[in-house]
Structure 1
Amino acid sequence: MGLTTLCYLEKDDRYLMLHRIKKEVDVNKDKWIGVGGHFEKDETPEECLLREVKEETGLTLTSWRFRGLVTFLSDAWETEYMCLYTADGFEGDMITCDEGTLEWVKKSELERLNLWEGDKIFFKLLKEEHPFFSLKLKYRGDVLTEAVLDGKRLKTENQG
C-alpha cells in the first residue's frame, strides 16, 4: 500500500503541471500530473506535501488546501492512497525538476494534455469547488474502469 501527496499550484488561472518524461521506468511516463510523492517514515500529509513540492519545484508553500482523498486501485500496481492539495501561495525560485518538465498550463487547456482519466474527474471537482471528497479510481492498465465519488459510482467510459 502506498501513501502519497499530490499538489496543484495555482497562479493566474493556471496550474503548475509536471510532464513526466525523464525516468525510463515510471508509472506516470509521458503523463502530465501535479507535483508530490511518497510519504517518508513518520511524516504527516502536510510535511510530505511541503517536502515534495520543495524537492520538485524549489518553491516553499505558504498557503494550501487539503481538497480530497483519492484511492487508486489497479491490476498493475499496489493500492495507493493520495492526499490531494491545491496551493495558491508560494515563494522562492523554481528549479529544474529531475522527474520531468514543469510548465504553467491554463486551466482551460488541461484537456489537451495527456492526463490520466481519473485526473479529469478531480480537476472537475476542484473547478466546481466541491467540498472535501473521497474518490476511488480503479484502473486496468491505463484504462479507468470505475470511479466512485463519496460512495456513489460515477459513469465512466470503460466500466467493467
Structure 2
Amino acid sequence: MDKLKYTICFIKREDEILLLNREKPSWMGSWNGVGGKFKKGETPRDCILREVYEETNIKLHDIQFKGIVTWNSDEGKIQGMYLFMQELPWDYEYEVPIKTREGILDWKKIDWIMNPENTGVAHNLPRFLPNMINNKGTFQYHCVFKNGILLDVKITEFKED
C-alpha cells in the first residue's frame, strides 16, 4: 500500500473524546478527530503530533498508533489516514468549547458519540471507535461508501509492511 495522505487522532480523557466540528470538507459540519495532511518529509507520527498541536495547542509527546482507516476513491484507488489515539489523565484541564480556524473543539461523551440516533458525527466513527478504545491491537478499518453513504466497515488486523 502506498503512503496514505492523512492522519487523525482521538484524544481521550476518562469517558470523553476531544472532537472537532469541522468547518471545511471533508466531514464539514460533523464531529471528528483532529489531524490533517502530511508536510514533505514527515512520518505519520511527526505529522499527527504537529497537527494535534496546531489544531488544539496540546503538545503530545507520546501517542499510540492504532492502525489505518481506508476507503476507495471515486476512481477506485485506496485512500486513507493513519489512526492515532492518546489518553490524557482524568484531571487534564482543557477548557472548551474553543473556536479554531478548523472549527469548534469540544469534549464529547463516548456514549453521545456512539448513540445510534446521533447524526452529528462522522458516519464511520462509531464503527471503529469502540474497537480502537478497547483493543490494544492495530487494525485496518476499510470503509465502503456508495454515493456518500457508509455501507460497511471491514475490520482486519493491521500488519505494517
**TM-score normalised per structure 1:** 0.79
Q: Quick one: structure 1 residues 92 and 76, their matched pair in 2 at CA, closer, same or farther if it must change by over 3 Å?
A: farther
Matched with 2:122 is: 116
For 1:8-47, list aligned pairs within 5 A. Answer: 8-20=10-22, 22-23=23-24, 26-47=25-46
CA distance in structure 1 between the partners assigned to 2:106 and 2:77 by the alignment: 29
Q: State the one-letter code of the partner of 1:83.
A: Y
Aligned length: 148
Q: Quick one: structure 1 residues 149 and 93, their matched pair in 2 at CA, closer, same or farther if it must change by over 3 Å?
A: closer
CA distance in structure 2 between the partners assigned to 1:62 and 1:43 by the alignment: 16
What do you get for the CA RMSD once the two structures are aligned?
A: 2.6
CA distance in structure 2 between the partners assigned to 1:50 and 1:93 by the alignment: 17
Q: What stretches of structure 2 of length at least 5 have no aligned partner? A: none
Whether 1:126 and 2:132 are equivalent positions in the alignment is: yes
Matched with 1:154 is: none
Whether 1:105 and 2:111 are equivalent positions in the alignment is: no
Deviation per residue, 1:108-151 (Å, 9 max, x gap): 11133512332111112123325210111121232013322118
Whether 1:64 and 2:63 are equivalent positions in the alignment is: yes
SS in structure 1 at match of 2:62:
strand
CA distance in structure 2 between the partners assigned to 1:130 and 1:103 by the alignment: 26
SS in structure 2 at match of 1:60:
coil
Greater fraction strand: 1
- Identity between Structure 1 and Structure 2 (%): 29
Q: What stretches of structure 1 of length at least 5 have no aligned partner? A: 152-160
Q: State the one-letter code of the partner of 1:13.
A: D
